Amino acid sequence: MNIKGSQTEKNLIQSYQGELAGDALYKIFAGKAREEGHENVALSFEKLAKEEVGHSEVFKKFLGEAEINIDIENLRSMCGETVSNLRRASAGEYQAYEETYPKFSKIAQSEGFSEVAKVYEVLGNVELRHSNILKELADGIEK
């Protein structure tokens, strides 16, 4: 079955771009955390950024070549104080777990791409772990 032209292909491109944008955003957030004296948070953002790249590579495997554009200036404009960055990142990871990836999994399954559907299920659970890590870090700063 050919993925080209399917809704699953569109979802994979969106996911691929989203994970790469997450990598770039988390690197920006890491710099801000370091600037504010939160080295442990900076290191956590950098670790999660690497995991986001890993996720993007999984999606790219299904796509082959895909042209994307990451608006770094827009990402920089999202950077605030470390606690708000952690909360924003946690919410985004949770949305991927709760809404986006389950939806994309169902679509992939309905189009006959069961391997893609399974990847969305697995990575959705990883995104929940990311969300929890980020939330715990924010809670730790706010105490």
Separation in Å, CA 21 to CA 7, 38, 108, 118, 120: 21, 22, 22, 23, 18
pTM: 0.93
The Cα–Cα gap between 92 and 90 comes to 5
pLDDT in tens, 15-50: 999 999 999 999 999 999 999 999 999 999 999 999
Q: State the pLDDT at residue 5.
A: 93
Q: Are 90 and 131 in contact (CB under 8 A)?
A: yes
Per-position b or e across 94-103, b if 16+ CB within 10 A of its CB = bebbeebbee
Q: What is the pLDDT of residues 50-65, one digit of tens each?
A: 999 999 999 999 998 8
Q: Say if residue 143's pLDDT is above 80.
A: no
Residue 135's pLDDT band (cuts 50, 70, 90): very high
